[in-house]
């Protein structure tokens, strides 16, 4: 078997651009009008944006009119995590933000609540939110908002969103869901997740970098204060002329992901499990994080005892395999994972964690190439540890 020049196992950081998204972006880049202009050129640009809006809404079972386009999932988190949410019934303003300990940094650091009004909810040892602790947090005074991922970007652990949302909704609260890693890899439905707001990022689906979306479950839920003020674009929630080409690519990637999800999710799960088998064949003592929980079909987070993440990443990179040690949003550093720390993983073992994540272009041949190479890559690292 002839191995490819490089093998890419880092889709949770960013997915390669799908050909259909590239084609749609190139076509949209030829549209010269501003989407806010009323002439024919402007209407053509607006039509491209609205077609993408329909595709993104369909991907998550939402309504087209409730999709707001932004520059990233991070911007969506910063916009949505605010106490100023208008909702029917005249409920009291949101007083507190509850965040699970495993959230992405855009949630942990991106909110608009006062620091004193933010509370972290712990995880169990498999990486799921502790529902008993959530119940206790919700019982304290003040109407809550909960920020909870659909699935963790490092471990792939799927959260019990329905159960968590029921607890929060019973207290009159709001649920904001980071669905960046779930959408396009497994079924992702706004109503099934019981979320009030859900956000996505185009480049995780095989769309372009620089496009994201926030989707509300109902038109009656409205964010009262935008982050960017200016014109009235995106229903007044995101000022600035829309990035038509990126949004068009987002829509194309969403359509492609939705069309193949029924076959793609089991295909990715098979590849992930084969990859795990290759790791365990070379290192039977390897630890798979979140193995006792439901996980994304594309994600494997694993550590080989005694082998540091940086050493393993460098060895794999030199052997033409691109993997990561967790979130790619930390200035390229190999650092201890706050997610694994929240799961109670011992620091030395957590320091060896690497993440393999697969996607639309991953193949069985790539997994087989990895299986043939991994033992040889790992052997000198373990010998060096034994000698030390």
Catalytically active residues are 329
DSSP code for 248: H
Q: How many CB atoms lie within 10 A of CB 341?
A: 15
Burial class, 77, CB count within 10 angstroms (exposed 0-12 / middle 13-18 / buried 19+): buried
**Alpha-carbon distance 222 to 224, whole Å?**
6
Q: Please answer whether residues 18 and 206 qualify as being in contact, where contact means their C-beta atoms are separated by less than 8 angstroms.
A: yes
Neighbours of 157 (CB within 10 A): 28
Nearest to 327 by CA among 80, 73, 81: 73
Strands 96-100 and 174-178: unpaired
With contact defined as beta carbons under 8 Å apart, do 134 and 112 qualify?
A: no
> Which residues have C-beta within 8 Å of that of residue 157, sequence separation ≥ 6?
102, 126, 127, 128, 151, 290, 293, 294, 295
Structure letter (DSSP) for residue 17: P
Name the strand (E) or helix (H) holding 371: helix 364-387
Per the DSSP assignment, residues forming a β-bridge with 197 are 176, 216
CA distance 76 to 214: 6
DSSP-derived letter for residue 85 is E
Q: Which of 141, 195, 139 is nearest to 166 (CA)?
A: 195
Q: Compute the CA torsion angle 113, 119, 125, 131 (nearest 10 deg).
A: -100
């Amino acid at each position: 078997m002839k191995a490819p020049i490089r093998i890419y196992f880092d889709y949770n950081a960013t997915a390669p651009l799908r050909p259909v998204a590239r084609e749609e972006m190139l076509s949209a880049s030829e549209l010269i009008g501003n989407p806010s202009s009323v002439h024919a050129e402007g209407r053509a640009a607006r039509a491209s944006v609205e077609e993408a809006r329909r595709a993104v809404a369909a991907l998550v079972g939402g309504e087209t009119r409730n999709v707001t386009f932004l520059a990233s999932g991070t911007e969506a988190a910063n916009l949505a995590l605010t106490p100023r949410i208008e909702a029917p019934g005249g409920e009291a303003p949101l007083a507190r933000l509850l965040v699970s300990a495993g959230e992405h940094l855009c949630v942990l650091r991106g909110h608009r609540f006062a620091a004193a009004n933010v509370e972290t909810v712990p995880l169990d040892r498999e990486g799921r939110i502790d529902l008993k602790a959530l119940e206790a947090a919700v019982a304290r005074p003040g109407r809550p908002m909960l920020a909870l991922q659909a699935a963790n970007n490092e471990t792939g652990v799927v959260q019990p969103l329905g159960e968590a949302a029921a607890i929060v909704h019973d207290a009159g609260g709001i649920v904001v869901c980071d669905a960046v890693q779930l959408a396009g890899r497994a079924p992702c439905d706004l109503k099934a997740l019981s979320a009030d707001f859900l956000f996505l990022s185009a480049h995780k689906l095989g769309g372009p970098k620089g496009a994201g979306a926030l989707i509300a479950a109902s038109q009656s839920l409205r964010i009262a204060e935008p982050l960017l003020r200016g014109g009235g674009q995106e229903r007044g929630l995101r000022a600035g002329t829309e990035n038509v080409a990126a949004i068009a690519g987002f829509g194309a990637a969403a359509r492609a992901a939705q069309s193949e999800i029924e076959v793609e999710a089991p295909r990715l799960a098979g590849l992930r499990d084969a990859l795990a088998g290759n790791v365990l064949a070379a290192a039977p003592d390897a630890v798979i994080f979140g193995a006792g929980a439901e996980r994304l079909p594309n994600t494997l987070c694993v550590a080989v005892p005694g082998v540091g993440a940086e050493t393993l990443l460098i060895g794999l990179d030199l052997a033409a395999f691109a993997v990561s040690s967790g979130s790619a949003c930390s200035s390229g550093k190999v650092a201890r994972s706050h997610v694994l720390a929240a799961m109670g993983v011992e620091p030395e073992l957590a320091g060896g964690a690497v993440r393999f994540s697969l996607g639309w272009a991953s193949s069985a041949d790539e997994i087989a190439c990895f299986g043939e190479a991994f033992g040889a890559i790992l052997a000198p690292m373990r010998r060096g540890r034994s000698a030390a």
